Amino acid sequence: MHKKAPADADKSGLKKEYSFFEDVYDVVRKVPKGRVTSYGAIANYLGTKLSARMVGWAMNAAQSARPKVPAHRVVNRNGMLSGKAHFATPTLMEDLLKKEKVIVKDDKIVEFKNLFWDPVKELTF
DNA sequence: CGTGTGACCGGCG
DNA sequence: ACGCCGGCCACAC
Protein backbone atom coordinates (compact mmCIF):
# COMPACT_ATOMS: atom_id res chain seq x y z
CA MET A 1 0.00 0.00 0.00
CA HIS A 2 1.07 3.51 -0.63
CA LYS A 3 2.16 5.83 2.05
CA LYS A 4 -0.45 7.64 4.02
CA ALA A 5 -1.67 10.80 2.47
CA PRO A 6 -0.84 13.74 4.73
CA ALA A 7 -3.99 15.41 3.53
CA ASP A 8 -5.97 12.78 5.38
CA ALA A 9 -6.48 15.20 8.21
CA ASP A 10 -7.63 17.82 5.81
CA LYS A 11 -11.05 16.30 5.70
CA SER A 12 -13.55 19.03 5.02
CA GLY A 13 -11.60 21.20 7.37
CA LEU A 14 -12.82 19.03 10.22
CA LYS A 15 -9.69 19.03 12.28
CA LYS A 16 -9.69 16.44 15.01
CA GLU A 17 -6.74 15.65 17.16
CA TYR A 18 -7.08 11.92 16.91
CA SER A 19 -3.97 10.15 17.95
CA PHE A 20 -2.67 6.91 19.30
CA PHE A 21 -3.13 8.26 22.79
CA GLU A 22 -6.85 8.78 22.41
CA ASP A 23 -7.25 5.29 21.08
CA VAL A 24 -5.56 3.96 24.18
CA TYR A 25 -7.70 6.11 26.44
CA ASP A 26 -10.84 4.93 24.71
CA VAL A 27 -9.97 1.30 25.30
CA VAL A 28 -8.99 1.87 28.92
CA ARG A 29 -12.26 3.68 29.58
CA LYS A 30 -14.08 0.60 28.35
CA VAL A 31 -12.46 -1.56 30.97
CA PRO A 32 -15.27 -2.59 33.33
CA LYS A 33 -15.02 -1.66 36.96
CA GLY A 34 -13.37 -4.36 38.97
CA ARG A 35 -11.49 -5.69 35.98
CA VAL A 36 -7.95 -5.11 34.81
CA THR A 37 -6.04 -5.33 31.57
CA SER A 38 -2.45 -5.20 30.43
CA TYR A 39 -0.49 -2.84 28.23
CA GLY A 40 0.20 -5.64 25.82
CA ALA A 41 -3.48 -6.49 25.49
CA ILE A 42 -4.33 -2.92 24.60
CA ALA A 43 -1.42 -2.74 22.20
CA ASN A 44 -2.60 -5.95 20.61
CA TYR A 45 -6.09 -4.53 20.25
CA LEU A 46 -4.67 -1.48 18.54
CA GLY A 47 -2.64 -3.69 16.25
CA THR A 48 0.75 -2.83 17.68
CA LYS A 49 1.24 -5.59 20.18
CA LEU A 50 4.97 -5.47 19.64
CA SER A 51 4.95 -1.92 20.92
CA ALA A 52 3.24 -2.22 24.23
CA ARG A 53 5.66 0.44 25.41
CA MET A 54 3.65 3.03 23.58
CA VAL A 55 0.59 2.11 25.57
CA GLY A 56 2.43 2.66 28.81
CA TRP A 57 3.78 5.89 27.53
CA ALA A 58 0.33 6.99 26.49
CA MET A 59 -0.79 6.30 30.02
CA ASN A 60 1.77 8.78 31.19
CA ALA A 61 -0.17 11.45 29.35
CA ALA A 62 -3.45 9.95 30.52
CA GLN A 63 -3.01 11.78 33.79
CA SER A 64 -4.06 14.96 32.07
CA ALA A 65 -6.52 13.27 29.73
CA ARG A 66 -10.17 14.24 29.88
CA PRO A 67 -12.37 12.61 30.74
CA LYS A 68 -10.41 10.85 33.34
CA VAL A 69 -8.84 7.58 32.33
CA PRO A 70 -8.83 4.66 34.79
CA ALA A 71 -5.15 4.03 34.33
CA HIS A 72 -5.14 2.09 37.59
CA ARG A 73 -6.86 -0.74 35.74
CA VAL A 74 -3.89 -1.16 33.47
CA VAL A 75 -0.97 -3.23 34.65
CA ASN A 76 1.82 -5.19 33.06
CA ARG A 77 1.65 -8.82 31.96
CA ASN A 78 2.59 -10.04 35.42
CA GLY A 79 -0.35 -8.23 36.97
CA MET A 80 2.09 -6.04 38.81
CA LEU A 81 1.36 -2.38 39.48
CA SER A 82 4.32 -1.26 37.46
CA GLY A 83 2.91 2.20 36.94
CA LYS A 84 1.88 2.91 40.48
CA ALA A 85 4.92 5.10 40.96
CA HIS A 86 3.59 7.38 38.25
CA PHE A 87 0.38 8.19 40.05
CA ALA A 88 -0.14 11.25 42.19
CA THR A 89 0.67 9.21 45.25
CA PRO A 90 2.46 5.87 45.53
CA THR A 91 -0.60 4.26 47.06
CA LEU A 92 -3.24 5.80 44.84
CA MET A 93 -3.26 3.00 42.29
CA GLU A 94 -3.73 0.11 44.66
CA ASP A 95 -6.15 2.17 46.67
CA LEU A 96 -8.34 2.73 43.63
CA LEU A 97 -8.16 -0.96 42.79
CA LYS A 98 -9.14 -1.96 46.30
CA LYS A 99 -12.11 0.36 46.03
CA GLU A 100 -13.23 -1.76 43.09
CA LYS A 101 -12.91 -4.90 45.13
CA VAL A 102 -9.68 -5.83 43.39
CA ILE A 103 -7.34 -7.52 45.80
CA VAL A 104 -3.81 -6.19 45.65
CA LYS A 105 -1.03 -7.93 47.48
CA ASP A 106 2.66 -7.13 47.31
CA ASP A 107 2.02 -4.69 44.44
CA LYS A 108 0.46 -7.50 42.47
CA ILE A 109 -3.16 -8.20 41.59
CA VAL A 110 -4.49 -11.37 43.16
CA GLU A 111 -6.34 -13.62 40.73
CA PHE A 112 -5.07 -11.37 37.96
CA LYS A 113 -5.67 -14.05 35.40
CA ASN A 114 -9.24 -14.28 36.58
CA LEU A 115 -9.83 -10.53 36.53
CA PHE A 116 -8.01 -10.04 33.26
CA TRP A 117 -10.07 -8.20 30.68
CA ASP A 118 -8.88 -8.60 27.13
CA PRO A 119 -10.26 -5.94 24.74
CA VAL A 120 -9.65 -8.21 21.77
CA LYS A 121 -11.83 -10.88 23.30
CA GLU A 122 -14.44 -8.66 24.89
CA LEU A 123 -14.60 -5.96 22.27
CA THR A 124 -14.98 -8.23 19.28
CA PHE A 125 -14.77 -5.78 16.49
C1' DC B 1 14.63 16.05 9.69
C1' DG B 2 17.55 13.28 13.46
C1' DT B 3 17.83 11.62 18.21
C1' DG B 4 16.14 10.14 22.52
C1' DT B 5 12.83 8.02 25.32
C1' DG B 6 9.47 5.04 27.49
C1' DA B 7 4.12 2.81 33.29
C1' DC B 8 6.42 -3.36 27.94
C1' DC B 9 6.93 -8.17 26.02
C1' DG B 10 9.12 -12.30 24.59
C1' DG B 11 13.07 -14.94 24.02
C1' DC B 12 17.41 -16.93 25.46
C1' DG B 13 21.46 -18.42 28.56
C1' DA C 1 13.74 -20.08 38.48
C1' DC C 2 16.15 -15.71 37.39
C1' DG C 3 18.39 -11.90 34.79
C1' DC C 4 19.70 -9.67 30.61
C1' DC C 5 18.99 -8.08 25.98
C1' DG C 6 16.79 -6.64 21.67
C1' DG C 7 12.75 -4.90 19.30
C1' DC C 8 9.05 -2.01 18.47
C1' DC C 9 6.41 2.50 17.45
C1' DA C 10 4.58 7.19 18.55
C1' DC C 11 5.73 11.56 20.33
C1' DA C 12 8.67 15.64 22.17
C1' DC C 13 12.76 18.62 21.53
pTM over 0.75: yes
Range of the domain at A98: 20-115
- Whether the CB of A96 is less than 7 Å away from nucleic strand C comes out as no
How many separate domains does chain A show?
1
> Does residue A105 lie in a domain region?
yes
The 10s digit of each residue's pLDDT in A57-80 is 999 999 989 899 999 999 999 999
C1' of nucleotide C10: residue with nearest CA:
A54
- Comparison of pLDDT for A16 and A109, the residue scoring more: A109
> Does residue A88 lie in a domain region?
yes
In this prediction, residue A119 has a pLDDT band, given cuts at 50, 70 and 90, of very high
- Comparison of pLDDT for A4 and A113, the residue scoring more: A113
> Does residue A27 lie in a domain region?
yes
Q: What is the CATH number of the domain that holds A92?
A: 1.10.10.10
> Does residue A124 lie in a domain region?
no
Residue A12 has pLDDT above 80, yes or no: no
- Whether the CB of A45 is less than 7 Å away from nucleic strand C comes out as no
Q: What is the 3-state secondary structure (H, E, C) of chain A?
A: CCCCCHHHHCCCCCCCCCCHHHHHHHHHHCCCCCCEEEHHHHHHHHCCHHHHHHHHHHHHHHCCCCCCCCHHHEECCCCECCCHHHCCCCCHHHHHHHHCCCCEECCEECCHHHHECCHHHHCCC
> Does residue A121 lie in a domain region?
no
> Does residue A61 lie in a domain region?
yes
